[in-house]
Amino acid sequence: MFSLGLRKIILVALIAVIFIVANAWIVVNWLYDRGVIQWADGVCEKFLTGTAITVIAAMLFLSVTPRSSASRLVSRCGVCDTAILGKKNYCPDCGSKL
Ligand SMILES: [Zn+2]
Give 94 Cα–ligand 1 centroid separation in angstroms: 4
Please check the confidence at residue 91 and state whether its pLDDT lies above 60.
yes
Task: Report the separation in Å between the CA atom of 64 and the middle of ligand 1, taken as the mean of its atom positions.
Answer: 29
User: What pLDDT was estimated at residue 65?
Assistant: 64
Angle at 46 between CA 41 and CA 51, to 5 degrees: 115
Distance 76 CA to ligand 1 centre (A): 8
Query: Residues 44-75: pLDDT tens digits?
Result: 888 888 888 888 898 888 887 666 555 567 78
Q: How confident is the model at residue 16 (pLDDT cuts 50, 70, 90)?
A: very high
For residue 98, report the distance from its CA to the centre of ligand 1, in Å. Answer: 8
Q: Domain boundaries in the chain?
A: 4-64, 67-98
Q: What is the pLDDT of residue 12?
A: 94
- CA 67 / ligand 1 centre spacing (Å): 23
pLDDT at 10: 92
